[in-house]
Amino acid sequence: MADSTEKPSPARGDPTWVAPALSREDKTRVVGKTPVFFGPPLAILTDGKKNTMEISGRLNLAAERYLEILRHHGLTLSEPERQCLRHICNTGFMSPLEIRELPLEVRLTAFCCDGLDKAALAQKLDAASFADLVVVVETLGF
């Protein structure tokens, strides 16, 4: 008879238990309540909602629509174009006004790299919808 030195893995309720990483499908299940700071945009979005379920429903609906925008919009950009936009967005937070001004920022930036045609990039951004610009900024990580 062999001695077993393996410890049983911790179970839910044990303080050392760590929840497994959630797949995208698993994230759609109920994960409990999360405290959220309601800045002005969320306060406006949920104005008039009286209870937690109404507020939660409104936030989830907005998030679902936003995810669809991310899936169906955006622009095809070359690597030099992406580098230029990363340079412009590098300040971090991009407000809606700053996102709308990306074509102007491309025209004004001193950034240069091999293969970058700033006039063509600015024209591409001018022709893009706001949703396309938002997705570009999101995919760049800003």
| Domain residue extents for the chain | 40-72, 79-139
DSSP line for 44-80? HHTTT--SHHHHHHHHHHHHHHHHHHHHH------HH
Q: What is the pLDDT of residue 115?
A: 97
From 21-30, 50-59, 113-122, the region with the lowest mean pLDDT: 21-30
Per-residue pLDDT at 59 exceeds 60: yes
- Looking at residue 80, its amino acid is P
Q: What is the pLDDT of residue 37?
A: 85
Neighbours of 66 (CB within 10 A): 13
Q: What is the pLDDT of residue 100?
A: 97
The answer to whether the pTM exceeds 0.85 is: no
What confidence tens digit (pLDDT) does each residue in 72-119 have? 999 999 999 999 999 999 977 899 999 999 999 999 999 999 999 999
